Structure formats: structure tokens, C-alpha cells
A and B are shown apart, each in its own frame.
Chain A
Amino acid sequence: MDRLRRENAWDEAEAGSVSGRCLGGFKILWDNVHFSLFCEDSQDPKHALKLCSALSESKLNLPFFTFGIDEKGQYIGLTVESELALKAQKILDSLSWEKDKVYLATSRSSILSIFPHRSKPEIAASLLDAFSKNNIQPAAMANSSAAISAVIDRHLAAKATQALFGPFCFSTYRTPEDWKLAQKGKEKIYKEIIASYQEKRPKVYSLNWHLNLDLFEIRSLSTELRNMAQLFMNLDKAGLKLTFLISSAVGGNQEQKFFLAFPHATKDTFRENLGNLTSWEVRKDSQAVASFSMNGPHFGDRYGIAALLLQCFHEAGIRPIAIGCTVASIMGLVESGQVKAVTEAIRGSFDVPAVMEK
């Protein structure tokens, strides 16, 4: 497709119908603290395992978690409730990192999740564009099977909820006031329900696989949000389905590292649609990775899930490429050849009634 037409795709979509961006709703967890770690020259997932295990032993919930490894190092993003932040900070300080190679940024944050994204890159594009127009720079992002979540500055969270009502429409809430009413008392009940799950072996509804994906990585300046939005919009126009997304801040939120996976996205398709983005790389060639997702009762809000997953991977000798935990799901990206081993490892630690493949 001709490049000029691609670059105009965003403006056409802005002027045109919004039916594709009519969503079911959005959620926000208001008072949290987000920690972004970049461990330079470290490819050992044991760091993330040690950290998650320590958080789990201290019974700290992780409503949001991302983890990714490339040849430059590993990227970890984790969010805890504000009242637990000091405890989390002490755990981070107590771990034996090589201090001079670890970059840590901390911020008071909210977690905003919109749904459903239906794997359409257009939804991520519209979200990033709304952020860009309102000078909101997410510290991290992750998708689940249904939702896209972004960790944003706590002070900008109210502004962000208002900003959503421009590019998106919500069948459930027609105005920001409708939405506020719908949230009343909800968080308290959630916490009580979450606390009631005490099973030793966590149960998931099913383990869902997306096979034959292509992995793309982008490291961009945080100020390049609009260019990222343009990229997602172009990919949507090219008919690509966004299956996996995480991003994490690098070096004090000046840069963002994105791990993205699409089915049947060739290197050329991706290159054609980059627009003004210049910093990107392909990590694996065609059909080299697979993503899994597990959904459980309020999964993203329960401590120990990420630790258990990393532990079972460690015991089975599996090196995940990336992991994202948000809303009620945990998702991961592994090499295609590891699908069987990963399924077995997960079944060894979680109660999995069904395995589905797409």
C-alpha cells in the first residue's frame, strides 16, 4: 500500500466513523506506586523471580506487572497500592542487584484499563493519541485478552478519564459522571472477594495460546507517543491483529521499550508502517513466538501469581521473552518451540481445566 495513504490513515480515522472505537467500558485503580526497573546487561530472569517471590512472601499484591528481556538487559515494571509502597521499596533495596547497573524510577500512579480491544491496534492508537494530546506519558502498558492497561501519573488520572470520552464512546457509560456512579463502592467489594480466595494451587479458567506470532521490539522516546499512535493506526489499516503488548520505562521514563506480537506480520509490513518512528528492531523472524494468557478470579490483583509463573518456568528451564499481568490476566511470550514445555510447566503449578489454541 502506498506510504502517503498510510500516513494519512490517522487523520481519515479521526474525521470518520468512531464505531470501531465504541468500547464496553474502562476501569481505574487510583492510588498506586509504580516502580520501573531497567537492569542493564542482565539477561537472567532470576532477578525478576527473586523480586516477585519476595513481594509474594510479604503478601504484596501486584495489580500490574511487566517483564521483558532483550540483549541490552531486562525491563521490569511493577505497581503496588500506595499504602504498600514503602514495604515494596524495602524489598527492592534488600535485593542484591548490581547497584550501578540498575536504573529505578518510582512514581505515584493510577492504572487505567479500557476494554475490549478486540486485538485491534486502532484501540491502542486512539488511547496513545488521547494521552499525547493531554501530555500524559504512560510509565508502562500491558494488554490482557480483553483490556489494554496503562500506568499513568496519579495527578493526571482524572484528566485521562475525561480524555477517553473524546476518541472513544462507551455503551455502558455515556458521560464521565455515569462512569463515576458505576464505580461507587466497587473497589471495596473487589478487595473482599480477592481476599477470600485462599486456594494453595491457583485455578485459572483456561490456558489460551496464540501460536505463530511475530515479535517486534521498539525503543522510542516517551515524547514520541503520537508517532507510536500513528504506527498502531497504520498497522490496524494493514489488517494486523495486536496479540501481545507490553511497554516499560527505561532510564527514568525518558524512553519506552515496547514488546509487540502480531500474527502473520512480516518484517516488510512492519517496516512499511513505521511512519516517523526510526528506532525499532525485529528480534525474531517470522512465526517464531507464541503468546499465552491465563485468566483467573481477579488474577491481576492477587499476590503470588507472577512469582509462581516465574518459578515454574525457572524449574522447567524456560526463559520467557516477556510477561504482562493486568486486570484479571497474566500473559506471556515464549519461543514457539517451547509451547509444549510451557503448557506442562503451567499445568504443574496451576489448576488448568482447559487448554485452547488460536
Chain B
Amino acid sequence: MSKKYILVVDDDPDLVETVAMMLESKGCEVGRAYDGVEGEESIKQRRPDLIILDVMMPRKDGYVLCAELKANEETKDIPVVLLTAVGEAVPTTRYSHADGMSTEADDYIAKPIDTETLWEIVNSLLS
């Protein structure tokens, strides 16, 4: 069976690396992107089997990118896992858990994430 290709999109480069290290240890191939626009370009170049997508990013945030992917016939079936921030405590932002739940993402996980829980979500969506 070929390796699953997962794209991780987050503007925190260290988190991208941590998640990539975990996924690679589970036998996945990992693509990395550092904002929504770069993520979008990466998806055009190579279709991932799953996308792990941060919501709070420069230029194009995760909600917008997720909505665009789900509205596009070619990409709507790619599972998307959103990484949400603890926005309830930050009234001036819209990056909350509630917003994460209202999108069409396939699942979401709140930061600070637990990499093992994230893997359970990814594994379940891939199978």
C-alpha cells in the first residue's frame, strides 16, 4: 500500500515540525505549508489524502481555505482536520472552538493539541 500523503498547514513552524515528526513515525509522507495561500498552492501541486489545517494564519486563514476546498468539486472529498485556538478567552478574535465546529471541516482539535489524539483522528479519517 502506498504511503498516505498528509499536508500540514500552520504558521507555527515548530508545530508543523512536531506534527510532521509524529506522522512520519506512523509511516505517512508529510507536506508542509506555512500559511493559507501556501497551503492552497501546495494542494494544487499535489493532492493530499488529508489536510491538517490551522485556523489562525496570515493572508488566508484556515476557515476560508477550508470553505474553498469544500466548495470545490475537485477537493471537497479531502478530509480536513482543523486546529483551533482557545478563542473563547479572546473576545477580539473569531478563532474559537465554536467557530471550528461550525465549519464543514471533517474534525477539529483544540490547541494545545495532543499528538496521539490527533493521530487517532487522522487514522480514523484515513481509514
User: Assuming the A-B contacts A203-B112, A296-B112, A354-B116, are A172 and B35 also in contact, with contact meaning beta carbons closer than 8 angstroms in the complex?
Assistant: yes
Whose C-beta in chain B lies nearest to the C-beta of A199?
Answer: B112
B window 12-65: CB within 8 A of A: 12-19, 21-22, 25, 32-35, 37-38, 41, 56, 58-59
Report whether B22 and A354 are in contact in the complex, using a CB–CB cutoff of 8 Å: yes
* A contacts with B, residue count (CB < 8 A): 41
CB-based contact A115/B13 at 8 Å: yes
- Is A15 on the interface with B (CB-CB < 8 A)? no
Chain A residues lying within 8 Å of B85, measured Cβ to Cβ, are: 193, 196, 297
| Interface size band for B | 35 or more
A-to-B contact residues, CB < 8 Å: 24-25, 113, 115-116, 144-147, 171-172, 181-184, 186, 189, 192-193, 195-198, 203-206, 208, 293, 295-299, 327-329, 353-354, 356, 358
Residue pairs across A and B with Cβ atoms less than 8 A apart, 29 shown, are A24-B33, A24-B34, A25-B11, A25-B13, A25-B35, A145-B17, A146-B13, A146-B16, A147-B14, A182-B58, A186-B58, A196-B85, A196-B87, A197-B112, A203-B112, A205-B115, A206-B18, A206-B21, A206-B22, A295-B12, A295-B17, A296-B112, A297-B85, A298-B12, A327-B12, A327-B14, A328-B12, A328-B13, A353-B115
Which residues of chain B from 51 to 89 have a CB within 8 Å of any chain A CB?
Answer: 56, 58-59, 85-87, 89
Interface residue from B17, B58, B86, B117 paired with A193 (Cβ < 8 Å): B86
Which of B12, B86, B95, B116 has the most chain A CB atoms inside 10 A of its CB?
A: B12
Known: A193-B86, A197-B86. A353 touches B116 (CB 8 A): yes
Chain B contacts for A182, CB-based, 8 A: 35, 58-59
